[in-house]
Chains A and B, each alone.
Chain A
Amino acid sequence: MDNPDFTRSGAEAGTPAHGGPHTTTYHVHIDGHEVAVHEQHPTGDALLALSDRKPCAFELIAEFKHRENDVIEPNETVDLADRNLKRFITAHKEIVTITIEGSPYTIERGKRTVAEILDKVGKTPDTYALLEEKDGPPLPLPANQPVDIQGCEVFHYQVQSGGSS
């Protein structure tokens, strides 16, 4: 159902005060939650951030009244004053981005082997251990267990320098 109030023009929603610079607040719906945006042309990245989503795992989709949905790229801007704009939804990407030693790599979401992840940087589990930085310092991952990739994971690698004796 169309809802013309998902975006409101400055005349309806603006809050200029005391003759200061014209500032307009746009009230947009992202995944059913209303958020306030203080610029007319935010980037997809900025809108995702307002819904606590990151572009390494999620994409932003704009829904319009009289045309097809549009995937908004992270650096792409959206005109919130567009009267045809209805709302935004986010979707979990199938191909997500992970970081290995500070560099981004794309990979299919889901259970991935340590070997698949290390292969992104041309390494193998025979020689290198994969470490994941999650809520703390990097810690090694078992080489024989799948890694659940949801996007935005941060990995490091280290030479396999230890062994049973």
Chain B
Amino acid sequence: MDYPRAQTDELKPYCTKLSLFTEGGVPFFSLEGLRLPESCEPQVCDALLCPVTRDNYPSRLYLSVKVKSHYDRNWNCENARIGEKNWFAFSWKVEGADLTLAQVLMAHLLGFTKEK
């Protein structure tokens, strides 16, 4: 699946290296060195953004570690094996049909900065 160049360019400032791969027909944006909100620990980690429906979520953000924040999250995905690495994800549903990739990413990061 092709994504608009403008949208992928918007993702680049959030990480040190951006790439796209597919696994099992599912696209994943690899965001190495993703910057997380200041309230997070750690403040940087690797991540995968899956911008399509997966595991009954419209999109998903996988992280290389369980990130700590002000809010307890339901990490209902642990050690998911994608791209020969293990990943973690918390239960967070991002709705909205016309969101850009950066807006989808931001909506997932909001999971660290708001209660519900």
Q: Which residues of A contact B (CB under 8 A)?
A: 129, 131, 136-145, 158-165
Contact = CB atoms under 8 A, between A and B. Distances in A.
A45 to B, nearest CB: 28
B5 interface: no
A129 B92 contact: no
A165 B11 CA distance: 25
A143 B113 contact: yes
Given A137-B13, A164-B74, A165-B92, A142 B39 contact: yes
A85 B95 CA distance: 61
B70 A142 contact: yes
A131 B14 CA distance: 13
Contacts of B70: 142, 144-145
B73 A162 contact: no
Contact of A162 (B14, B37, B102, B108): B108
Given A158-B103, A163-B116, A140 B94 contact: no
Interface in B86-116: 90-96, 99, 102-103, 106-116
B38 interface: yes
B35 A137 contact: yes
A162 B36 contact: no
B57 interface: yes
Q: Which of A137, A142, A161, A162 has the most CB of B within 10 A?
A: A162
